[in-house]
């Protein structure tokens, strides 16, 4: 594929014998976005081009085309539109997109705080757009404030479907076959961190929970002094509840965020439930109150305390090796805040190496599991697996509202958890 001579993309230049380039709206690691005038209709559009140094990268082209497919498939007021895909004379594709004037949610958060009411409105609008994508089998996989655009009239648009996954076809191998796990660490669900191949729409629910928490509390629940601390928070769920982080927050909103950030994705609410709560309608989903800290066995047994210490040490050690070797590429959060008047200024989602994050973290758990199991009595070895970061819970069912499936008191038979309605699957359409 021939490369673009970026010097030819200049003010007043014409592309596709139709669009006149006016000025640059945004630029990132993968591409550059221009404001352009359609000389046939007089309408203003946003044109997204691949950067010259990325044109020979098949993954960058695949990402651009994936974004075009997803955004053009999802026709919804809360999703930025892609009108068509055209080619430059050299054969390089570019997108003709909806031109938006406003700012990203990340810019709004950097400028001023957002109260619970406004946060509920914004996240509900995001959820409406994402739910429309899910209904077509499309998972965004990179929801974050940088990829949410707020127009001057308050309308919310979800942008940048560059690493979306199509559940109907499972099409994402062109982005992940080389061992690269794409996403933004602070907003990634546990299953994304571990590189699970069956990541589905529930990963978007987790990311929306992080966004909602950030809007209300002014900080992300997964904040940490380094990548190791962020990973630890994601995998252990060791962050304060929203009502503790933002006193005065409605408890119903805090409960919703807690459920959205369930490490067990089967326990996360559907977007229907999320929208009901955010828009003030009673949800049909019963609240799942967490177990009291005094009823969680890891806080009472020497073995489980040692297990938490070993897991944390292993994660930190693995990330230290990864950082010294290949490193973990994360986009500077502040860079995206420079977006101007276009929904397409967030161009290149940061890339996380599956080797440095998923493989090393999984290997660390396996190593700790083997070491710990060898130090346990034979009778306890069966319950000492570290394959799940979920804490065991006491079998006192009368005092614990909901027990995770693995809740077993060592030395006793497992107590079955109370029955709960299953989460209905997202309806998908077979049309392309």
CA–CA separation, 22 and 11 (whole Å): 5
Angle between helices 251-260 and 271-278 (to 10 degrees): 160
CA–CA separation, 344 and 411 (whole Å): 57
CA–CA separation, 112 and 217 (whole Å): 12
Tokens of 162: 């560059």
Largest distance between two CA atoms of the chain:
79
CA–CA separation, 376 and 371 (whole Å): 9
- Which stretches within 261-301 are classed as H helix? 271-278
Catalytic residue annotation:
142
CA–CA separation, 271 and 217 (whole Å): 21
Angle between helices 202-217 and 116-135 (to 10 degrees): 170
Nearest to 33, CA basis, from 16, 14, 15, 47: 47
């Amino acid at each position: 594929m021939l490369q673009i001579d970026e010097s030819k993309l200049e003010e007043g230049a014409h592309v596709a014998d139709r669009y006149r380039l006016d000025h640059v709206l945004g630029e990132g690691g993968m591409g550059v976005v221009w404001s352009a005038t359609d000389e046939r209709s007089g309408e203003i559009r946003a044109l997204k081009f691949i950067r010259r140094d990325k044109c020979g990268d098949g993954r960058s082209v695949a990402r651009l085309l994936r974004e075009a497919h997803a955004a053009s498939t999802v026709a919804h007021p809360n999703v930025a539109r892609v009108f068509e895909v055209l080619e430059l004379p050299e054969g390089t594709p570019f997108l003709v997109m909806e031109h938006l004037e406003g700012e990203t949610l990340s810019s709004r958060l950097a400028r001023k705080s957002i109260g619970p009411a406004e946060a509920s409105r914004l996240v509900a609008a995001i959820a409406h757009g994402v739910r429309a994508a899910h209904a077509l089998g499309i998972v965004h996989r990179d929801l974050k404030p940088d990829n949410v655009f707020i127009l001057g009239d308050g309308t919310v648009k979800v942008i940048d479907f560059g690493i979306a996954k199509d559940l109907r076809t499972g099409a994402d191998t062109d982005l992940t076959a080389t061992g690269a796990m794409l996403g933004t660490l602070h907003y990634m669900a546990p299953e994304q961190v571990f590189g699970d191949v069956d990541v589905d729409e529930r990963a978007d629910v987790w990311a929306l929970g992080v966004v909602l928490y950030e809007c209300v509390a002014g900080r992300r629940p997964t904040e940490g002094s380094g990548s190791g601390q962020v990973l630890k928070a994601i995998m252990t769920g060791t962050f304060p509840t929203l009502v503790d982080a933002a006193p005065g927050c409605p408890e119903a909103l805090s409960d919703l965020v807690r459920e959205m950030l369930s490490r067990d994705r089967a326990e996360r609410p559907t977007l229907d439930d999320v929208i009901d709560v955010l828009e003030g309608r009673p949800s049909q989903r019963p609240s799942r109150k967490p177990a009291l800290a005094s009823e969680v066995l890891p806080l009472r047994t020497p073995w489980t305390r040692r297990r938490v210490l070993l897991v944390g040490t292993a994660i930190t050690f693995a990330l230290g090796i990864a950082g010294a070797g290949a490193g973990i590429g994360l986009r500077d959060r502040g860079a995206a805040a420079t977006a101007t008047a276009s929904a397409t200024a967030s161009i290149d989602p940061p890339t996380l190496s599956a080797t440095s994050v998923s493989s090393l973290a999984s290997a660390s758990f396996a190593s700790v599991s083997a070491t710990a199991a060898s130090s346990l009595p034979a009778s306890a070895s069966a319950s000492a697996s570290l394959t799940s970061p979920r804490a065991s819970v006491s079998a006192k069912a009368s005092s614990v509202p909901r027990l995770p499936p693995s809740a077993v008191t060592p030395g006793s038979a497992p107590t079955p958890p109370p029955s709960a309605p299953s989460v209905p699957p997202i309806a998908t359409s077979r049309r392309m």
